[in-house]
A and B are shown apart, each in its own frame.
Chain A
Amino acid sequence: MKTRREFIKISALGIGAAAIASQSNRWGFGLPLYADENKSNKSKATKLTPTYCEVCFWKCAAWAHINDNGKILKLTGNANDPQCNGRLCPRGTGGVGMVYDDDRLKTPLIRVVENGKQTYREASWPEALDYIAEKMKEIAAKNGPESIALFNHGSAGGHFTHLLKSFGSSTITAPSFAQCRGPRETGFETTFGAQVGSPEPTDIRDTRCLVLIGSHIGENMHNAQVQEFSDAVDKGATIITVDPRLSIAANKSKYWLPIKPATDIALLLSWIHVLIDEEIYNKEYVAKHTMGLDQLKVHVSTFTPEWAYGITNIKPSVIRQTAREMADAAPSVLIHPGRHVTWYGDDAQRSRAIAILNGLLGSWGARGGFFMKASAGIPDFPHPEYPKPKWSWPEVLNGKYPFASMSVSNTFIEASISSNDNKYPIKAWFVAGTNLPVAIPMMSQMQKALQDLELVVVVDTMPTEVTGFADVVLPECTYLERHDDLRDVPHRVPTIALREPAIEPMWESKPAWWIAKQIGERLGLHDYFKYEDFEEVISWQLQQKGLTLAELKSKGIVVLPRHNESPYLDPKEDYHFNTPSGKVEFYSSALASAGFDPIPVYTPHPEPEDGFYRLIYGRAPMHTFSRTANNPNLTDLMDENSVWVHPKVASLWGLEEGKYTYLRNQDGITSNFPIKVRVTERIRWDSVYMVHGFGHNQKELSRAFGKGANDTQLITNVMIDPMMGGTGMRGNFVTFTATGATEEKEAAL
């Protein structure tokens, strides 16, 4: 009989004691305070340990400053790292808060039934690991190792990927594709034969014209990109920002185009129209490197700025003028591909329109456009060949989404719901470093899947929502307490950065590499884990690159020379693009033969009904998704999100600045918690905006619980991109239920 998997609040165990800790206890690991100005204001750091940041995916190389008592005093950027140039962002600076957060997971936990009620009990590591290994063997014997899946994000993922592959499963996924950047990878791949990848190879530093479409650099704190954006502002680059909200970037732009949401493709097609109609595209580049101009010309002939005006609200004169600005700057122009681009379900096509526009301007491969990335290439530590799985993520797609170039996490959830027509059923989940209920807007399917799964293992540092659904919760130590793989991020120059533990793991937490190895040993996979300490792996890998661990320990990062000299295309040389035609494809036969539009078309999207407003969401510079929402230092900067409403909308609904309201969406879903109202001229009247990652309903996140609203909860209309499976999330509309909200909020405090 299956056990019904109820959401368990981890407090059942008494670990929640920290939730009632006083303010000063929260900082119980605090540092001595000096009461004399003549001394340095804090105890002196006596040791520097190299690390790279794990608060977001940018992975800036950094130094942990440690005192004699083994306390981390602060983190600073590594001056030799081109990803940060010695300057961490606020999240990186506040990374110490992740370590000294009393709400952390402290011991392994196993789900048990006590007095008919599901709860967790603390377990020893051997017990928890034995339990997992036994279950894995049992499931593999019945359904094959392929039925054990991994959802991952961040550095921990690499270790569990190795574990699963060693066991015979490549059923591995991350929400970063289908819930985030997937559409742009597909859009650029079908145009240039290359994905954008992370970090983006955007040459913002040297651009003469930067176009941002919904991308809010400065609010998304992708470090080097923000730094280069600031350089571009300094150098007087023309910045054009398309956003229904006056973002920070929009405010620094020469042109802010407050577009009607969901009409971006019309604007893009119209820009393409102007470039072709006025013959101001990059003729040399187009003749040399592209195919399909004739079809494109016919396709956009009617998409005049006047046509687009009626759809986008952007004046024809502004559309023409901005297109000319781009042409003037070409090829040092950058229509930024964005990052979180799963909006309306036709996002791969919108990204393709962006790619085509870049192609017309010749910016792919140009200085000030997109550069060609280089990476260090770190060899795998020797291990036997992975067993070949009988099936993997492409089978899980079940014939859908032919242009998905990576696994689609939402299809994993569907494949985890028991059904007779499911040929490739998923029976177990490993979840490492991703809070799925807040990351994937499919709560009802996720709940069904969680009832049917035979094993759910969650590895995390914090008692996030997803830990409440686990059979076994494993407390991972934070990045400042562990080794991880060497960092090899592709960029202008290859680099290798080291992460060493700054301090010993606190409580019973353990590094992901250790956890993966321990499970591997129990599964008889010793030959894949032939090391006692991960430093052996790193040391061997560095040796293969002609480097030593000692050098990395003292420098933190090494910058290597590029193998191919220039990051830019040589205009005199031919270049083979990795597309079917070998050219930049304005017209895609591959798309046409799969039944998709070979050139992007604009399709109108549903509009909010009377009294409803489109819900748009984004990032705040001091938080990363939902993972920092409990960080004591970062919540001190921002501890709740607010809903931005235009003053006219506010007066219509009687909403007052600083007061609270509940939000209700088109499907009748009301936000779990009230959200603070921000009345501002910075947003259109047909939309509201909030920062993602708040409104946690896990009480053990003592600082995050009940603070603000959770946008993912209100995203119940998900529009799937038929090309690549992305979950379009911007087709949700909300209205306000303010009555009593402020009073309830006050009562809760």
Chain B
Amino acid sequence: MRYAMAIDTLKCVGCSDCVIACQMENNVPIGFCRDWVVESVHGSYPEVGLELRSERCNHCENAPCVRCCPTGASHIVEGGIVLVTQNKCIGCGACIQACPYDARYSHPEGYVDKCTFCNHRVTEGLNPACVSVCPTKCMYFGDLDDANSDISNILATRKYKALAPEAGTNPQIFYLV
């Protein structure tokens, strides 16, 4: 089992519904977020284009946040999901520094917080909140080890990229381009 997410940049409209759905689902305090939307513009008028990316923790196979965590709070569970055990976290912030995706933040209650792939939903057979809410249906979530899953199919047929491959983290979020 290897959970992953593919996000179609050609369909995403950058509305931030993924962000607010995550905040509501996971009770993320106002002023913080576990996912966010990046817009990058290339070219110059009128030959101009843009790419929209809904970004979050990449649930890396080779996760620097897990390696650097002094207490073992950051760890990897079944399906490759990277989690933080909140009552083990001392809030030192080493993982925040180590993450090449800037995917973690210090929660006001003193621990480090980030995307969980909505593990509490996934274990109930639901999609993560961001995937469920997306009005453009541009997000695909599933098991890469299952060759028939939606995500395996979409990655087999579409061109895609991952972020910061040079960091060697083996990220599990893929962007369809």
Residues of A within 8 A of B (CB): 23-24, 26-27, 30-31, 33-37, 39-42, 73-77, 84, 86-90, 93-94, 96, 217-219, 221, 223, 226-227, 229-230, 233-234, 246, 248-249, 251-252, 256, 258, 621-622, 632-634, 636-638, 646-647, 680-685
Question: B147 on the interface (CB 8 Å rule)?
Answer: no
Question: B98 on the interface (CB 8 Å rule)?
Answer: no
Q: Contact at B20–A90, with CB atoms within 8 Å?
A: yes
Q: Contact at B15–A646, with CB atoms within 8 Å?
A: no
Residues of chain B lying within 8 A (CB to CB) of residue A88: 17, 133, 135
Interface extent on B, as a size class? Answer: 35 or more
The smallest C-beta distance from A166 to any residue of chain B, in angstroms, reads: 40
Residues of chain A lying within 8 A (CB to CB) of residue B85: 36-37
Residues of B within 8 A of A (CB): 10-11, 13-17, 19-21, 23-27, 29-31, 33, 41, 43-46, 48-50, 52, 83-87, 108-109, 111, 116, 118-120, 132-138
The smallest C-beta distance from A238 to any residue of chain B, in angstroms, reads: 15
Residues of chain B lying within 8 A (CB to CB) of residue A24: 108
Across the interface, B23 reaches (CB within 8 A) one of A84, A223, A227, A636, namely A636
Across the interface, B13 reaches (CB within 8 A) one of A75, A226, A637, A638, namely A226
Residues of chain A lying within 8 A (CB to CB) of residue B11: 230, 233-234, 252
Bound together, the chains give a CA A2 to CA B91 distance in angstroms of 64
Give me 5 other A-B pairs in contact (C-beta within 8 A), A37-B85, A93-B17, A94-B24 excluded. A37-B84, A41-B118, A76-B133, A227-B137, A258-B45
The smallest C-beta distance from A702 to any residue of chain B, in angstroms, reads: 13
Bound together, the chains give a CA A230 to CA B44 distance in angstroms of 26
Q: Is the interface of B mostly helix, strand, loop or mixed?
A: loop
A sample of 7 inter-chain contacts (CB < 8 A) reads: A41-B26, A41-B120, A76-B133, A227-B135, A251-B49, A256-B46, A681-B44
Q: A40-B120, A684-B45 in contact; A93/B21 too (CB < 8 A)? A: yes
The smallest C-beta distance from B8 to any residue of chain A, in angstroms, reads: 8
Bound together, the chains give a CA A637 to CA B86 distance in angstroms of 26
Q: Contact at B25–A681, with CB atoms within 8 Å?
A: no
Residues of chain A lying within 8 A (CB to CB) of residue B135: 84, 87-89, 221, 223, 226-227, 230
Q: Contact at B24–A93, with CB atoms within 8 Å?
A: yes
The smallest C-beta distance from B90 to any residue of chain A, in angstroms, reads: 13
Residues of chain A lying within 8 A (CB to CB) of residue B21: 90, 93
**A226: nearest chain-B partner, CB-CB:** B135
Bound together, the chains give a CA A263 to CA B83 distance in angstroms of 55
Q: Contact at B13–A248, with CB atoms within 8 Å?
A: yes
Indicate the member of B13, B43, B50, B120 with the most A CB atoms within 10 Å.
B13
Q: Contact at B23–A633, with CB atoms within 8 Å?
A: yes
Q: Contact at B136–A227, with CB atoms within 8 Å?
A: yes
Bound together, the chains give a CA A84 to CA B17 distance in angstroms of 13
Bound together, the chains give a CA A682 to CA B51 distance in angstroms of 12
Q: Contact at B20–A637, with CB atoms within 8 Å?
A: yes
Across the interface, A23 reaches (CB within 8 A) one of B30, B46, B52, namely B30
The 9 closest A-B pairs by CB, nearest first: A218-B13, A621-B15, A230-B136, A90-B17, A74-B24, A40-B120, A35-B86, A681-B48, A681-B45
Across the interface, A622 reaches (CB within 8 A) one of B20, B31, B109, B118, namely B20
Residues of chain B lying within 8 A (CB to CB) of residue A646: 45
